[in-house]
Structure 1
Amino acid sequence: MRLYTLSKRYFVLVFVVFFICFGLTVFIGIAGPNVIDARPYRSDTSNVSKVGHYSLESPILSTYNQQLWLTCRIELDKSDDSSIQSNLTILVNIQGMAEDATVSYVDKKEHSHNRIISCAQKCDEIIVVHLGYLNYTRYKLSVRFENLNQLRYTITAVTFTWKTYNPTFSQVEIWFRFVFVVLTFMVTCLFAHSLRKFSMRDWGIEQKWMSVLLPLLLLYNDPFFPLTFLINSWFPGMLDDLFQSLFLCALLLFWLCVYHGIRVQGERKCMTFYLPKLLIVGLLWLASVTLGIWQTVNELRDPTYQYRVDAGNFQGMKIFFLVVATMYILYLLFLVIRACSELRNMPYVDLRLKFLTALTFLVLVISIVILYLRFGSQVLQDNFVAELSTHYQNSAEFLSFYGLLNFYLYTLAFVYSPSKNALYESQLKDNPAFSMLNDSDDDVIYGSDYEEMPLQNGQTIRAKYKDESDSD
């Protein structure tokens, strides 16, 4: 691996380049447009107190708006800081207006749902409608509130807000996804090209996993994303969510397998080595995919659906996810501590552990910081999934996630690619005493009696049976 040939100066340079590339995407995102375009509509107070019925018309929409939310915030005439909660029934009827001004019902049924209003100094914002994709250029909604008279305070106003993706941000997203797709394709081809002369049995466990993660990273960047703007369907969005969950769970599985596999000599059996890890990560993947499908199917059936409606089921799914995630974290920590304690005195393995642990720790810290800045301390509230897409503030929060994971994989691919020495040693592949890499895999690192022999170009290779080589 190139990892073995890098000096301390080049190791520092690798981390510096990683931070420069990541910082560049963050600065571009900060200078970029806001993700959400919000257009408020403030109601007349007299209509609130008498009727509670509103006819709302959305702004003109295009495919670049991607999705549509209608939110509502009720303003009360209260001066104290006391908290109140009250049930409120919302009835919604949705019509779509095409470009030729024809009007048709999105769903002829009038949707009715109960919402809980929580008010302290201000009342919480309520999501009235969420449309995951746009079939019409404009929507007309009829919204009716019931039980308004049960509130202890006088309602001063009801503010509705249309929220869509900013068309300028959509264009930025298309270009950056395209750039990452091209870069990932190039890195994948270069990495595969560097390994083409070597048998797969000679690859290190990190190299085997990189040959899997790089194609999945290509899917994570979603080369099919432009279909979102070409066809009016829920399928491209569902496909994007599926690719993202698949890559992230593969990355979690990669960490488990590397920290465990670096200690395991010989054959790694499926039942004892891979099955426990696949079970834990598979449950995480199943939970994330189930939540995505659950949300999409219910919103297609009822655009006014929210997870709060199924609070009990969502609470059970959230507990299940947290339990499995806790099991994963404890298992990963166990593998990391055991690997570092058992292999810290082995020079080549110690280098592999230190590099992967340092880079992965930095990526996890940055990810936690981004999540906290994006959601604050309310990440795991019951409205987390339903309001997830409305919490972006600027392009930096979007680009930071994509840039972080892409540059993380690019760095690993560079470090785990074969060194120049390995290209020379591949000429000796007919001799079973030689390995593809200088200390690349487990047979070389663990307990073998290979010894170093100088070459004319100043490099070294490991040969077995020194007595036979001396006699020659």
Structure 2
Amino acid sequence: MAKPHSDADASGLGYAYQLPSGGLLLRLKSSLSQFSDLFSDFSRYISPAYHHDRCERSVHMRLYSMHKREFVMVFLGFFTCFGLGIVIGLTGPPITSTSSLTAQQILANTSLAHSPTVLGKGPFAMKSPLTTTYSQQMWLIAKLVTDNNDDERYDKSFQVSVSIDGINEQHKPQSVIGSGVAHNRTRHLVCVRNDCEEFTVMHLGFLDYAHYIITVRFYGLESFHQKYNIRSITFYFKTYSPEFTQIEIWFRCIFLLFTFIVICWYAHTLRKYPIYDWSIEQRWLSVLLPLLLLYDNPFFPLIFLMNSWLPGMLDAILQATFLCSLLMFWLCIYHGLRQNERSFVRFYLVKVIVVLPIWLCAIVLATWEKCNELRDPTYSHFVDTKNYNGFKMFFYIACCMYVLYLVLLLLRAYTELRSMPYFDMRLKFLTLLMLFVLCISITVTTCRFGFGILEDNFVASLNTTYRSSAQFMCFYGLLNFYLYTMAYVYSPDGRFAQAELAVTKDNPAISMIDDSDEDVVYGSDEESRRPLTSVGGGAGKNDYDSD
């Protein structure tokens, strides 16, 4: 074996050039091989690496080093927690509570009981069932039945006047909306044969009293009553179930606690790395997790401590903000994996323009209806057809724009990155979870449950019945467990805790093409360029000559 030349070591490169021996071809091959090893020490200054502008470096994510069985365990844990939440919801109480009163019961023992025109105009004075702060809100819904047997569909416009008195602790009526300032609102009575669709008489967004005395009068139904003969009128009082409210408080508190723990753990795992070394997923999770904390709403108990519309509107705003941030996250990830330069104007501005209308629709709908109902409990945006239909069309257009843009980014990401190791892994993991979240969310919305103002509109319909709390647990558990799973997968791997091992190449244009998805463990650039022969290597270190 040739001995290392001392002059080669004096250069300070840490490598020794071995004088080749043997045939001419073998000598030439050996010389080129050793020269290549010597030259590799300078290659990082002329080849793309993480310290160049054209490449982005990022903290090593747990996703990179996970094997198939670990992926199975992660998804199994996610589905187990999600399924457990649904089981708890199925065993829970129904979300709403409904009680009914017929016009005959209301008018019994009154002078109007035998009046032939009373069903067409009223008045109907009724006392609401017992309500507590846990009842949250109350809707009064009316449903008419006629004697008409013709196969025709007819729509009759009429006005509803409502006066409301609350029963205070001294059992005395306290005027909420007096008869002198009673609001008249237009309603539409849509009937097919003898069955008429229900309509909302009034909605109280927060409850100040245990009982209410509500007086309802109809205007414009006299001619309708004479023609079709209103046989009966049934009034329904609908509130949130107090038992469900207790479940909601407890599980919001539990999700809030777990989210806080996950935030602390996630921040602890990334504390040693500069923020500019974080991957785009890690940066976005550092934003989404605090928003999830607000989505679980630490201010939710204020709904029961304050007799005001403000906590309810704040809850709707926080939920809308988190959901729109999640929509923004999906757009940024699918685009950000292909692009390292992410300036606000070129990268984020278009996405903000796409998502902002959806957020504005949710915020405007929440504040618009809450503020109008505060002044007038008989207000309903369904009746304000001119503004509501235009608003609904704007929302549909915004959603279509978002879906088209998301599909475009998804297809381009898969077209460019699906054959690149690690990037295809990131795409598959993100897409699989995203599709599951979207499918479950659409299913829950189809079951007439949602967030904030959307949920209230579903509850206001008699067709919406909840036999258990499964819809609530499904919706809230899904989003919480989704972010917990991403926080675990995108967190730094403990096996690569050293700073020089935690920085990995993250440029789709270079590197990682010849690496496998599971067997490659990242090392530093210096280790990858270390030659087979080093200075000072003895027989005990298993160093060999090239020849």
TM value normalised by structure 1: 0.90
The equivalent of 1:431 in structure 2 is none
Matched, 1:90 2:163: no
Matched, 1:120 2:192: yes
Matched, 1:315 2:389: yes
Q: Does structure 1 retain, via aligned residues, the 8 Å contact 2:256–2:296?
A: yes
Cα separation, 1, equivalents of 2:319 and 2:455: 16
Cα separation, 1, equivalents of 2:229 and 2:251: 48
Q: How does 1:378-393 map to 2 (within 5 A)?
A: 387-390=457-460, 391=464, 393=466
1:100 offset after TM fit, Å?
1.5
Aligned to 2:523, what secondary structure does the other structure show? strand
Q: Does structure 1 retain, via aligned residues, the 8 Å contact 2:207–2:307?
A: yes
Aligned to 1:461, what secondary structure does the other structure show? coil
Cα separation, 2, equivalents of 1:48 and 1:136: 34
Q: Which amino acid aligns with 2:117?
A: S
1:385 offset after TM fit, Å?
7.8
Aligned to 2:228, what secondary structure does the other structure show? coil
Cα separation, 2, equivalents of 1:463 and 1:157: 83
Aligned to 1:387, what secondary structure does the other structure show? helix
Cα separation, 1, equivalents of 2:456 and 2:68: 47
The equivalent of 2:287 in structure 1 is 212
Cα separation, 1, equivalents of 2:512 and 2:425: 21
The equivalent of 1:37 in structure 2 is 97
1:78 offset after TM fit, Å?
2.8
Of stretches 18-27 and 292-301 in structure 1, the one that deviates more from structure 2 is 18-27
Q: Does structure 2 retain, via aligned residues, the 8 Å contact 1:449–1:464?
A: no
Q: How does 1:404-443 map to 2 (within 5 A)?
A: 404-423=478-497, 425-426=498-499, 428=500, 436-437=502-503, 439=504, 442-443=506-507
Q: Which amino acid aligns with 1:140?
A: I
Q: Which amino acid aligns with 2:148?
A: K
Which string of whole-angstrom CA distances, capped at 9 and with x for unpartnered residues, describes residues 54-101 of structure 1?
A: 101112221011111111001111334432211121111111111122
1:35 offset after TM fit, Å?
1.1
Q: Residue 156 of structure 1 is aligned with which of 198, 220, 231?
A: 231
Q: Residue 244 of structure 2 is aligned with which of 135, 148, 169?
A: 169
Aligned to 2:381, what secondary structure does the other structure show? coil
Which string of whole-angstrom CA distances, capped at 9 and with x for unpartnered residues, describes residues 93-131 of structure 1?
A: 111111122322113311111111011252111111100
The equivalent of 1:355 in structure 2 is 429
1:258 offset after TM fit, Å?
0.3
Matched, 1:135 2:195: no
Matched, 1:398 2:472: yes
The equivalent of 2:108 in structure 1 is none
Q: How does 1:53-452 map to 2 (within 5 A)?
A: 53-108=123-178, 109-120=181-192, 122-151=195-224, 152-265=227-340, 267-374=341-448, 387-390=457-460, 391=464, 393=466, 394-423=468-497, 425-426=498-499, 428=500, 436-437=502-503, 439=504, 442-443=506-507, 446-447=509-510
Which string of whole-angstrom CA distances, capped at 9 and with x for unpartnered residues, describes residues 226-245 of structure 1?
A: 11111111111011011101
Cα separation, 1, equivalents of 2:200 and 2:229: 22
In 2 relative to 1, CA 292–263 (structure 1 residues): closer, same or farther, beyond 3 Å?
same
The equivalent of 1:49 in structure 2 is 117
Q: Does structure 2 retain, via aligned residues, the 8 Å contact 1:209–1:254?
A: yes
In structure 1, runs of 5+ residues without a counterpart are 429-433, 453-457
The equivalent of 2:545 in structure 1 is none
Cα separation, 1, equivalents of 2:444 and 2:116: 40
How many residues are matched?
449
1:448 offset after TM fit, Å?
5.1
Cα separation, 1, equivalents of 2:330 and 2:529: 41
In 2 relative to 1, CA 113–337 (structure 1 residues): closer, same or farther, beyond 3 Å?
same
Cα separation, 1, equivalents of 2:352 and 2:186: 40
In 2 relative to 1, CA 201–91 (structure 1 residues): closer, same or farther, beyond 3 Å?
same
Q: Give % identity.
A: 45
Which string of whole-angstrom CA distances, capped at 9 and with x for unpartnered residues, describes residues 18-73 of structure 1?
A: 11111111111111111111110011284573352110111222101111111100
1:167 offset after TM fit, Å?
0.7
In 2 relative to 1, CA 450–363 (structure 1 residues): closer, same or farther, beyond 3 Å?
closer
Q: Does structure 2 retain, via aligned residues, the 8 Å contact 1:307–1:385?
A: no
Which string of whole-angstrom CA distances, capped at 9 and with x for unpartnered residues, describes residues 365-408 of structure 1?
A: 11112222227xxx9xxx97873333351311111110111111
Q: Which amino acid aligns with 1:188?
A: I
Cα separation, 1, equivalents of 2:527 and 2:251: 54
The equivalent of 1:455 in structure 2 is none
1:459 offset after TM fit, Å?
5.0
Aligned to 1:347, what secondary structure does the other structure show? coil
1:287 offset after TM fit, Å?
1.4
1:299 offset after TM fit, Å?
0.2
Cα separation, 2, equivalents of 1:449 and 1:148: 76
Superposition RMSD in Å: 2.3
The equivalent of 1:16 in structure 2 is 76
Q: Which amino acid aligns with 2:523?
A: I
Larger radius of gyration: 2
Cα separation, 1, equivalents of 2:446 and 2:161: 35
In 2 relative to 1, CA 275–19 (structure 1 residues): closer, same or farther, beyond 3 Å?
same
The equivalent of 2:88 in structure 1 is 28
Q: Which amino acid aligns with 1:205?
A: I
Cα separation, 2, equivalents of 1:48 and 1:366: 52
Q: Does structure 2 retain, via aligned residues, the 8 Å contact 1:48–1:158?
A: no
Which string of whole-angstrom CA distances, capped at 9 and with x for unpartnered residues, describes residues 311-341 of structure 1?
A: 1101111111111111111000000000000
